[in-house]
């Protein structure tokens, strides 16, 4: 009978890679949940007449493959909602649709990350960078709305 716990020397390279991939997936899901919560809570503080997409729809971003396209809809509708709310509250913002450009860039690069070899890897890294910048930008917009 084999012991339940394997010694480090008994773990193959494939098993190690599988564990790393599983860990990365869990981290991405947790980060995704926090990201979606930021988007949803930002939409919730926008007045009903300026909200162009329901905040509950943000959770559709957890649906694999569908999220690749839906992200563009979210970026557009959230940018439009923020723009209208900023105008209503008299808050100046340098972008006509806050976060739109960097959000679209994140989405395009995310899709491009499917490409093989170095181009896919570079696209994936650039996508994560743009995604984080977009997330920070939306958080900043939320803070601006909360301060008024």
**Residue range 10-42, pLDDT digits in tens:** 778 888 999 999 999 999 899 999 999 999 999
Whole-model pTM: value is 0.86
Question: Any long-range contacts for 72-78 (C-beta under 8 Å, 24+ apart)?
Answer: 72/104, 72/107, 74/39, 74/103, 75/99, 75/100, 75/103, 75/104, 75/106, 75/107, 75/134, 76/100, 77/52, 77/53, 78/39, 78/42, 78/43, 78/52, 78/53, 78/103, 78/138
pLDDT-based confidence at 132, cuts 50/70/90?
Answer: very high
Average pLDDT over residues 83-92: 95
Q: Is the pLDDT score of 127 beyond 80?
A: yes
Q: Is the pLDDT score of 3 beyond 80?
A: no
Q: Mapping DSSP to helix (H, G, I), strand (E, B) and coil, where does residue 51 land? A: coil
């Amino acid at each position: 009978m084999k012991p339940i716990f394997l010694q480090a020397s008994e773990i193959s390279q494939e098993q190690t890679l599988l564990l790393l991939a599983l860990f990365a997936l869990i981290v991405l899901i947790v980060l995704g949940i926090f990201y979606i919560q930021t988007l949803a809570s930002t939409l919730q503080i926008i007045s009903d007449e300026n909200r162009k997409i329901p905040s509950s729809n943000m959770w559709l971003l957890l649906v694999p493959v569908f999220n690749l396209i839906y992200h563009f809809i979210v970026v557009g509708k959230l940018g439009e909602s923020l723009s209208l709310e900023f105008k209503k509250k008299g808050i100046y913002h340098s972008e006509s649709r806050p976060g739109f450009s960097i959000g679209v860039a994140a989405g395009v690069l995310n899709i491009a990350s499917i490409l093989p070899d170095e181009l896919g890897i570079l696209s994936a890294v650039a996508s994560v960078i743009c995604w984080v910048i977009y997330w920070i930008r939306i958080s900043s917009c939320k803070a601006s709305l909360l301060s008024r």
